[in-house]
Amino acid sequence: MNSFQATNLLLKSDPFDFSPEAQALFRESFKEMALHHYKAHPFFKRVFDDAGLQPSQIHSEDDMSHVPPIMVHLFKEKEFISVPEKDIVLTLTSSGTGGQKSQQRLDQMSLDNVKLLAYKIHERLGLTGQENVNYLCFTYDPKVASDLGTAFTDELLTSFTGRNEVYYAIQWNKIKNDFELNSDGVVETLKRFEKEGKPVRILGFPAFLYKILKDYKIKLKLPPLSWVQTGGGWKNLANEEIPKHEFRRFIFDSLGIPEENCRDLFGMVEHGIPYVDCTLGNMHIPNYARVYVRSPYDLSILPEGETGLLHFICSYNHSYPCISILSTDYGSVRKCSCGLDGQILELKGRAGVSKHKGCAMKASELLK
């Protein structure tokens, strides 16, 4: 048992309990973890000092809103660690579509915490079970890409049920020395899963699934209790992205999976909290996190419904001082009518790297 008692308690609590006690527990959890990073990492300390805030001064939700962030790109560019190197048990990286890969460095406590909170959230949303399920993962085969966050996530997600077969669609091609999407393999697997009659869960990048179903004009009826759980965004196929409700309808038409069983998930390697769709297709913010929407100009908090930069706060991570990060995603927060407490997160696109105005070179061009 570690000394982070509030955190231990928090992660055992209902992720969508927003009672005053539950909120206070999150604050305590954050406070104890912030205190640890404040002592352990000079830059984390600097950021708090610049904001004129000590972790010990956090008492209320209003205090939480004054917690300063570290901008997420620094985690891609710099090495961050708040524990001895020897304590790190897993290093995860992002898929790196923007050219730079971010990291998450987990000690045992943090790894246990992130697994636990993910399970708790999925459990609460009815996405866990005991039955044996056939998995089709549109992600990298974890046997090859064990340190990629998405592969870790899918590995994690497939652990929430009994597993029959797991098929990874992005496979290592020895000849090309690179990963590639095995489209034919996916189609063949889907047809086979349909015949087997066991529930199917499809996980991973929505763009790949959409493209294959569309290109191969798939019309199947997958067994009952089948789910699609997408995550990771549309990546390099952003120009083909369709609205979520259209995607859910398309899945139903192609695979016979009910729309309410088609859930999207938003997560960031650096942050670790999964924001999972409810039945209405809205990503809910659990009490394991706080999300503020800030103006990029002065970092002031914007009213509910307004779009700004998303500031994510969590408390589970002991090894990596990423418990308060300013993302480069635009988004907003609002309430949802599905019945769950708390707010939902709405993503509005990537921030930064403005459209090219002219002949002065921008970083994005040099990174290509």
Chain residues binding other proteins by CB under 8 A are 42-43, 46-47, 50, 70-71, 73-74, 77-78, 296-297, 309, 326, 328, 330, 351-363, 365-366, 368
Chain mean position to CA 160: 16
Residue whose C-alpha is closest to residue 319's, from 150, 142, 75: 75
Residue closer to other proteins by CB (options 82, 182) is 82
**Shortest Å, Cβ 350 to other proteins:** 9
18 token code pair: 């927003």
**Most distant CA pair in the chain: distance in Å?**
62
- With beta carbons less than 8 A apart as the criterion, state whether 261 and 227 touch: yes
Residue closer to other proteins by CB (options 15, 69) is 69
**Shortest Å, Cβ 366 to other proteins:** 6
**Shortest Å, Cβ 237 to other proteins:** 17
**Shortest Å, Cβ 178 to other proteins:** 23
CA distances from 241 to 113, 186, 189, 208 (A): 33, 20, 24, 11
Residue closer to other proteins by CB (options 22, 291) is 291
Pairing of the two strands 200-204 and 227-231: parallel
CA 212/CA 194 separation, integer angstroms: 16
Residue closer to other proteins by CB (options 3, 354) is 354
CA 161/CA 173 separation, integer angstroms: 29
Alpha-helical segments (H) within 197-303? 206-215, 244-255
Residue closer to other proteins by CB (options 129, 352) is 352
CA distances from 149 to 91, 107, 170, 299 (A): 9, 15, 14, 28
DSSP 8-state class, residue 200 = E
Radius of gyration of the chain (CA): 21
Residue whose C-alpha is closest to residue 287's, from 33, 17, 67, 62: 17
**Shortest Å, Cβ 75 to other proteins:** 10
Amino acid at 6: A
- With beta carbons less than 8 A apart as the criterion, state whether 91 and 83 touch: no
Residue closer to other proteins by CB (options 133, 325) is 325
Residue closer to other proteins by CB (options 44, 160) is 44
Residue closer to other proteins by CB (options 16, 312) is 312
What is the DSSP track for 235-292? GGGGGG---HHHHHHHHHHHH---GGGEEEEE--TTT---EEB-TTS-EEPPTTEEEE
Residue closer to other proteins by CB (options 195, 297) is 297
